[in-house]
Amino acid sequence: MAKSMRCKRVKRLRAIRREIVEKESFTLTREDAKSAAIEAALAAPKLPVRQPPVSPFMEIATPSSESAPATVDNDSDVEMDDEKKNKSLKPIGRKLKKKFKMGMKNRRSKGVLRGKRN
């Protein structure tokens, strides 16, 4: 019976020590680490902000009032040309993909969408 009481007492002491060590060391180290990081960040010298290098390509020339209407006309011409090109650049939709796959099932053909070539 003395042995079982001794084991229980040792276990209880170990548990108490473990709790004390965990609580103190964990909370203290975590709080210390937080405060040390904050102090280091505040004490660090401020870094100078670098300005981006000035390049001639990045400069924006302001158009004069005489050349402004000419650019609007050119923009509309470009938009018209873009509409023609956009039709060929549009992605194939879900229905067209299905048609294309159905046509590709026939191994001898090139597909429904490509058309027959003589």
What DSSP line would sit under 84-112, residue for residue?
A: HHHHHHSPP-HHHHHHHHHHHHSTTS--T
**Residue 111, C-beta contacts closer than 8 angstroms, at least 6 positions apart:** 100, 103, 104
Residue boundaries of the structural domains of the chain: 1-42, 72-105
Read off the pTM. 0.23
Whether 104 contacts 92, CB under 8 Å: no
**31-74: pLDDT as tens digits:** 888 888 899 988 888 878 878 777 666 555 555 544 444 444 44
* Cα(41)–Cα(35) distance, integer angstroms: 10
**CA 77 to the chain's CA centroid:** 37
